[in-house]
């Protein structure tokens, strides 16, 4: 730093007598005036709006690290001093904040300039670009308001330009209103699918699913939270959530991955294909994995052999760090382990056509002692899961569970099967993150139907039973809060949804959520319902940005 400063001072001193130096144009500069002139400019700009979701601060690593550690069914490797004990540092969620605002700024800034290209880009394509931006911004708004309650709000009309200006808290209404407008626009202007070279872009189905999810969450965080769950406005909001999710269902674009035969190998391959980076073979059947028929939207990663050093997924290289942190690989940190309580959430069953004694999803979610790690001989991982090698045996070593256990340790199978074994493993892993699966859409639709009119049509129950039918679990007779909780818990286990579900369900007294039991008497309802706004942000805004209650 001293050398750079010295050079700058020297240049200023030795050129002080020349006006020419001050007037020299930097030919390498690129500003807004020289950009947004061609469709390719717009394409490049839109591409940058996607990457914050893939960065290490979100789904490239920190999302699973933080949100799954908060999940009562998952233990971190140090269970006595971290998030699984609700021991939270005020800056623990600063990476989420940084990435979400990186995304919000990019989308809003591009939208503020996009009209320059209205006569340059063909109208339908122009609307597709705008739809992508608004779909992404709607998601950024969604996570900001559900995690931080009253974070900073802006849109394309007031993008911050003065780094010295103190920004203030927004109102939740601003976020909820704008994300609905954004996602609705996206759902009306995006295509149902993209060419194979463009996989990973937001689609009509992804926008509708994100809209339905956001409006369902709004029912809890905005209406039930303040005692307005039965208002006319709340019912209208729920109906819009139902309709958005139903549009995904009725589009006939998506299906659940189904087993081709009623054997254990087929049941598990059909389910696990949703979390693999390779198509999963069973005999002559090959189950599609990434961007398959069940994937509504997923974040794209690749294996580029960690082309650059450092720890910046989607910046320095195209893979993620999730496999490095959470897989059973011998080279992984193996930071997470499943609590046996989750295993017992999966129902026991008799007479199952696949010969299971328990919901097949249990065996596709959990690595137990002896489970095959990889089907490929050449991988070197055809041996079975061993607690002593493929986990840190957190639960057993710390006496965290007193009852009978199905395995010394239970590993996370989703995004950990098969093993990632090529040159750069376990760094820069290529597993795409499935942010919205079709089964999630069906379960959210069931929940919206229940909240709207206690599922008077029966369509919500049918949707939930469709998810159960994929693994030949018996139908349930009635749609209840307990049934909704159970089905989301077992279908989406370890995918980073459970903690967010618990928080919103807490606002509904009809949902049997006992925070004291779930969080071992560590949860403070007066502060833990929302994350703290990072202190670094409050300091940077000189106190104009206020902290959430309790922090």
Query: CB neighbours (10 Å) of residue 67?
Result: 21
Sign of CA dihedral 177, 436, 365, 393: negative
Contact 212, 441 (CB under 8 A): yes
**Measured between alpha carbons, how far is residue 145 from residues 38, 234, 348 in Å?**
34, 18, 38
* Structure letter (DSSP) for residue 263: S
Here the tokens at position 325 are 């942190």
> What's the CA gap between 304 and 7, in Å, rounded?
38
3-state secondary structure 37-77: CCHHHHHHHHHHHHHHHHCCCCCCCHHHHHHHHHCCCEEEC
Supply the DSSP string of 507-523, one letter for each residue. T-TTS---HHHHTTT--
> What's the CA gap between 470 and 438, in Å, rounded?
12
Contact 432, 299 (CB under 8 A): yes
Question: What is the CA 144 to chain-centroid distance, rounded?
Answer: 13
Here the tokens at position 542 are 């000189």
Here the tokens at position 41 are 């400019």
From the list 426, 412, 433, 190, the residue with the least C-alpha distance to 298 is 433
> What's the CA gap between 506 and 530, in Å, rounded?
12
Contact 237, 216 (CB under 8 A): no
Model confidence pLDDT, tens digit, residues 36-89: 899 999 999 999 999 999 999 999 999 999 999 999 999 999 887 789 899 999
pLDDT at 314: 84
pLDDT at 446: 98
pLDDT at 544: 97
Residue with tokens 């959210």: 444
Kindly report, as residue ranges, where domains of CATH 1.25.40.890 are found in the chain.
34-190+533-540
Angle at 86 between CA 80 and CA 88, to 5 degrees: 100
Beta pairing, strands 366-367 & 280-282 = unpaired
> What's the CA gap between 512 and 212, in Å, rounded?
23
What CATH number belongs to 34-190+533-540? Answer: 1.25.40.890
pLDDT at 550: 95
**Measured between alpha carbons, how far is residue 124 from residues 113, 190, 200 in Å?**
18, 9, 19
pLDDT at 7: 25
pTM, to two decimals: 0.93
Tell me which residues of the chain have a pLDDT lower than 70: 1-32, 305-309, 423-424
> What's the CA gap between 216 and 204, in Å, rounded?
18
pLDDT at 10: 27
Strand, coil or helix: 411:
strand
pLDDT at 12: 26
Here the tokens at position 80 are 């006595």
Strand, coil or helix: 75:
strand
Strand partners, 411: 367
Contact 452, 238 (CB under 8 A): yes
Here the tokens at position 476 are 């349930």
């Amino acid at each position: 730093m001293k050398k750079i400063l010295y050079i700058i001072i020297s240049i200023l001193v030795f050129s002080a007598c020349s006006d020419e130096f001050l007037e020299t144009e930097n030919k390498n500069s690129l500003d807004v005036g020289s950009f947004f002139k061609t469709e390719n400019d717009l394409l490049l700009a839109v591409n940058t709006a996607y990457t914050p979701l893939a960065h290490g601060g979100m789904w490239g690593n920190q999302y699973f690290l933080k949100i799954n550690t908060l999940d009562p069914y998952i233990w971190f490797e140090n269970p006595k001093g971290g998030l699984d004990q609700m021991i939270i540092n005020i800056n623990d969620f600063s990476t989420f904040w940084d990435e979400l605002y990186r995304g919000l700024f990019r989308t809003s800034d591009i939208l503020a300039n996009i009209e320059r290209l209205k006569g340059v880009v063909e109208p339908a394509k122009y609307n597709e670009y705008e739809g992508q931006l608004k779909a992404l911004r709607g998601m950024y708004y969604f996570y900001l308001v559900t995690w931080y309650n009253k974070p900073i709000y802006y849109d394309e009309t007031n993008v911050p330009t003065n780094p010295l200006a103190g920004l203030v808290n927004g109102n939740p209404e601003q976020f909820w209103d704008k994300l609905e407008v954004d996602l609705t626009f996206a759902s009306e202007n995006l295509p149902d699918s993209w060419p194979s070279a463009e996989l990973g872009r937001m689609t009509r189905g992804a926008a509708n699913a994100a809209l339905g999810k956001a409006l369902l969450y709004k029912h809890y965080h905005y209406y039930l939270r303040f005692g307005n769950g039965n208002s006319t406005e709340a019912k209208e909001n729920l109906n819009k959530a139902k309709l958005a999710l139903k549009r995904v269902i009725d589009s006939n674009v998506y299906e659940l991955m189904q087993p081709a035969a009623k054997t254990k190998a087929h049941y598990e391959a059909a389910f696990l294909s949703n979390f693999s980076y390779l198509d999963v073979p069973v005999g002559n059947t090959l189950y599609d994995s990434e961007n398959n028929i069940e994937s509504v939207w997923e974040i794209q990663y690749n294996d580029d052999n960690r082309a650059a050093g450092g720890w910046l997924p989607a910046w320095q290289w195209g893979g993620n760090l999730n496999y490095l942190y959470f897989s059973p690989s011998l080279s992984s940190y193996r930071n997470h382990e499943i609590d046996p309580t989750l295993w017992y959430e999966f129902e026991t069953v008799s007479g199952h056509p696949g010969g299971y004694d328990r919901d097949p999803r249990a065996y596709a979610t959990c690595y137990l002692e002896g489970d095959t790690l990889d089907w490929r001989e050449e991988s070197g991982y055809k041996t079975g899961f061993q607690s002593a090698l493929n986990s840190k045996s957190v639960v057993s070593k710390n006496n965290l569970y007193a009852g009978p256990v199905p395995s010394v340790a239970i590993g996370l199978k989703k995004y950990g099967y098969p093993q990632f074994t090529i040159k750069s493993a376990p760094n820069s892993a290529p597993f795409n993150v499935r942010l919205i699966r079709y089964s999630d859409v069906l379960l959210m639709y069931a929940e919206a139907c229940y909240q709207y009119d206690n599922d008077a049509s029966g369509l919500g129950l049918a949707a939930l039973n469709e998810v159960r039918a994929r693994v030949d679990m018996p139908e349930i007779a009635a749609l209840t809060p307990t049934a909704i909780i159970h089905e989301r818990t077992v279908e989406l286990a370890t995918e980073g949804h459970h903690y967010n579900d618990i928080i919103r369900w807490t606002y509904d007294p009809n949902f049997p959520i006992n925070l004291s039991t779930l969080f071992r008497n560590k949860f403070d309802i007066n502060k833990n319902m929302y994350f703290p706004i990072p202190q670094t942000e409050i300091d940077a805004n000189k106190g104009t940005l206020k902290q959430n209650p309790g922090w």
